Amino acid sequence: MAASLAVPLPALAQAASGFPLWELGVVGVGVSQQAYPGASERVQQALVLPYLVYRGEFLRVDRGSAGVRAINTPAFEVDIGFAGSLGSRANDITVRRGMADLGTVVEFGPRLRWNLTQGAGPDKWRVDLPLRGVFDLSNGLAQRGVAFEPELVFSHRDADGLNYSAGLSTVWGNAGLADTFYGVTAAEATASRPAYAAQSGLIGWRLSGSVSRQVAPGVRLLAFGRIDSVAGAANQGSPLVQQTSGASAGVVLTYSWRQSAERAVD
């Protein structure tokens, strides 16, 4: 998702041959990031949550999402799944005071994954092409639009437990999604916040990276960072856009409490 307060859980993204078929554990996340791309204010979150990973041939609960993998070949995967991200309160963001909160959202839809690098080597390149409807969990699953986020990803996994990855993506949205984050109605307009009709198109650019390592049996520590930019975006002229780019950073600590003896196929 483009603009709500996403809580990334890349420490759980380890679905590969040799990993347990399922894991049950606890994850702690601390993150500081822009309230949404283009915001000048930051939002901090700290969460401790249980997690479940299931790496079945078709049913997948992993990589921060859940769903059904319909096609699985060495080069291509197609799945239909869910993902989600947290929101932020309008009163915590000066320029949005008096407007509706950015609610917690869930996304649902298909994703095509193109594995550019195949085989068992430690270095992998892939392209992810998710197309998902966005629904506001805080408002009775009201539809907020459609998001498309093509992403090029490089990942590396060492035999000694060191993993790192980097990704470059663009986020595109229809008029409904753009309006959720950048539109200002006449009733919401003020002297410093004129009315604005948001447009469909490019919402922003995203450069992300993470590095993780197993620090004890069943315990993994991960640090991640991300730069979001709205340079050249369809709604860069919105009064809710206060700066072109911004950075996010955080840490994730996972503890695998229980896991299966059976290993995942891939």
- φ/ψ of 48, rounded to 5, equals -125, 120
- CA 148 to mean position of chain CA atoms: 12
- CA 36 to mean position of chain CA atoms: 13
Encode pLDDT of 246-261 as tens digits: 999 999 999 999 988 8
**Which residues of the chain, if any, have pLDDT below 70?**
1-18, 62-66, 266
**What does each C-alpha distance from 221 to 21, 58, 161, 218 come to in angstroms?**
21, 28, 11, 10
Query: Residue-wise over 237-262: b if at least 16 C-beta within 10 A, else e?
Result: ebebbbeeebebebebbbebeebeee
Please tell me the distance from the alpha carbon of residue 112 to that of residue 213, in angstroms, as a whole number. Answer: 28
Encode pLDDT of 18-52 as tens digits: 678 889 999 999 989 888 899 998 888 888 989 88
**Please, are residues 97 and 90 in contact by the beta-carbon 8 Å criterion?**
yes
pLDDT score recorded for residue 86: 72
DSSP state, residue 184? B
Q: Where are the domains of the chain?
A: 10-259
Choose which CATH entry (2.40.160.40, 3.30.465.10, 3.40.50.720, 4.10.110.10) describes domain 10-259. 2.40.160.40
Site of tokens 């993204």? 13
pTM to 2 decimal places = 0.86
**Please, are residues 155 and 171 in contact by the beta-carbon 8 Å criterion?**
no
